[in-house]
Copies of this chain bind each other. A is one copy, B any other.
């Protein structure tokens, strides 16, 4: 695999309803593959779809994991038969006590810590793993500050694909141990997450056959976040919430949950209604919240450690 325009043969239906990659900035399209940046404007590439008919009954008859939504994801129809961690369909808990304290009548918490490696990263990694497999990648990799490394190492181990995960060398030991259990190739980089990320981008650009889940197969990976939106709507009885609070993190999850809700509306699976999406950041590292409060567009990076 490379980020060049080399033509590869992928099997029929390898990406399910996904048909192409589309640049979010300029709308330029290109074929599905390990590409993440538009060759016209360097904007981020996203997955484009042509959905068939999808019904609630069809989804409800599926397994109790993200593959119940496979008709809405860039994965093949036989995805369930490929070894994977089967993440998702985590509990949506009514937070009665917290709601009472906050004066909110109907407050729900999505407990994604019950995913196989205890974070939502198992969702996105599962889609990236499918893409890596269909693109015949030899190495399944990521730069990470911990949770993603765990998810990649565990998913790769289960699938029997070679994994390499890159982490900052000062990462706390328990997170390192969790990854080390599943991969022989845990690479501690002397630097911070930005440095680790740059190294990953360089390898992705220069080496063939490496699928970096959050770099060159990121457009596939990112679609995994949609499943949080699908599940919330289904678990609320096929209804959209009034308001939803989502961690900002890389900024991807907010947009993907919104995308999921819009897809459900378009497909007639939920009724359209207004809703608000809030992004939340922890006070210790809140560049987006700070910029928002200051009324500026430019985000000033915060570098913890």
Residues 250-302 of A at the B interface (beta carbon under 8 Å): none
Q: Which residues does chain B contribute within 8 Å of A89, judged by CB atoms? A: 64
Q: Is the CB of B114 within 8 A of A116?
A: yes
Task: Report the Cα distance A86→B89, complex, angstroms.
Answer: 13
Q: Contact flags (1/0) for A75-94 with B, using CB distance below 8 Å?
A: 00000000100100101011
Contacts of A116 on B, CB cut-off 8 Å?
91, 111, 114
Instruction: Give residues of chain A (181-222) contacting chain B, Cβ–Cβ below 8 Å.
Output: none
Chain B: minimal CB distance from A280 (Å): 19
Q: Does A52 contact B (CB under 8 A)?
A: no
A45, chain B: closest CB distance, angstroms: 33
Would you give the 0/1 interface string for A29-69, flagging 1 where the beta carbon is closer than 8 Å to chain B? 00000000000000000000000000000000000110000
Residue A9 CB within 8 A of the other chain: no
Partner of A97, one of B86, B91, B94, B158: B158
For residue A172, give the distance in angstroms from its CB to the closest CB of chain B.
Answer: 12
Query: In this assembly, does A115 line the interface, its C-beta being within 8 Å of a C-beta of chain B?
Result: yes
Check: A96 CB closer than 8 A to any chain B CB.
Answer: yes
Residues of B within 8 A of A115 (CB): 114
A107 within 8 A of B: no
A86 lies within 8 A of B96 (CB): no
Contact between B83 and A96, CB atoms less than 8 A apart: yes
Instruction: Give complex CA distance A96, B118 in Å.
Output: 22
A160 CB contacts on chain B under 8 angstroms: 96-97
Closest beta carbon of chain B to A64's beta carbon, Å: 5
Is residue A157 within 8 Å, beta carbon to beta carbon, of the partner chain? Answer: yes
CB distance from A107 to the nearest CB of B (A): 13
Bound-state CA distance A42–B160 (Å) is: 53
- Assembled-state Cα–Cα distance A87/B116 (Å): 15
**Which residues 94-125 of A have a CB within 8 angstroms of B?**
94, 96-97, 111, 114-116, 118
Q: How far is the CB of A89 from chain B (nearest CB, A)?
A: 7
Taking a contact as CB atoms under 8 Å apart, the answer to whether B96 and A91 are in contact is no
Q: A116 to B158: give the CA distance in the assembly, Å.
A: 23
Which single member of B64, B65, B93 contacts A86 (CB below 8 Å)? B93
Question: For residue A91, which residues in chain B have a CB less than 8 angstroms away from its CB?
Answer: 65, 86, 116
Complex-state Cα separation, A165 to B125, whole angstroms: 38
Q: Tell me, rounded to whole Å, the shortest Cβ–Cβ distance linking A211 to chain B.
A: 20
Residues of the B chain whose Cβ atoms lie less than 8 Å from the Cβ of A83: 94, 96
CA distance A97 to B96 in the complex (A): 42
Complex Cα spacing A3 to B299, Å:
63
Kindly list the 9 A-B residue pairs having the minimum CB-CB distance in the complex, ordered from nearest. A114-B114, A64-B64, A83-B96, A86-B91, A97-B160, A114-B116, A111-B116, A86-B93, A97-B158
Write 13 A-B pairs (CB below 8 A) sorted by A numbering: A64-B64, A65-B91, A83-B94, A86-B91, A91-B116, A96-B158, A97-B157, A97-B158, A97-B160, A111-B116, A114-B114, A114-B115, A114-B116
